[in-house]
């Protein structure tokens, strides 16, 4: 299978997760974490259900991914997510060293773009990014 087809497959899985979130009245965001061509974690937003601040789809797959690879580093992993990560999740992805992610628009968001977004937010140049 070509990389484009794989990307579409992984994004469809993330969209399925987003639909699960919608069915339980959560913000419909889904995420899939891929390591060496294998889906190692998939999740959807569960903040209301769990009553936990960190139950964003991205944070859940990071936690599951850490358990799967046996390390807090996810440098060889790629995240597929239905919406560009919020600042909290972007920071978590930076800390995990995730090699990159794809949003529903199908464009990879390199780490440097996240760094610049966080920098701009910290300096009051971007407010309320979601």
Of 58, 64, 76, 84, which residue is the catalytic one?
58
Q: What share of the chain is helix, strand, coil (3-state, %, to 5)?
A: 45, 20, 35
**Terminal CA-to-CA distance of the chain, rounded, Å?**
33
Q: Show the 3-state SS of 42-55.
A: EEECCHHHHCCCCC
**Closest to 94 (Cα-Cα) out of 115, 72, 124:** 115
Q: Are strands 108-109 and 30-35 parallel, antiparallel or unpaired?
A: unpaired
Residue 85 and residue 7: Cα distance in Å, rounded?
A: 18
Instruction: Mark whether 26 is an active-site residue.
Output: no
What residues act catalytically? 58
């Amino acid at each position: 299978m070509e990389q484009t087809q794989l990307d579409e497959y992984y994004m469809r899985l993330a969209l399925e997760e987003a639909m699960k979130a919608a069915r339980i009245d959560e913000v419909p965001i889904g995420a899939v974490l891929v390591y060496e061509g294998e889906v190692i974690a998939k999740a959807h937003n569960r903040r209301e259900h769990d009553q936990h601040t960190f139950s964003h789809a991205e944070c859940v797959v990071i936690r599951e991914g850490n358990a799967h690879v046996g390390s807090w580093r996810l440098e060889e992993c790629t995240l597929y997510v239905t919406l560009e990560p919020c600042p909290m999740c972007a920071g978590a992805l930076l800390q995990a060293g995730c090699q990159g992610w794809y949003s529903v628009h199908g464009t990879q968001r390199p780490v440097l773009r996240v760094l610049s977004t966080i920098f701009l937010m910290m300096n009051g140049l971007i407010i309320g990014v979601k």
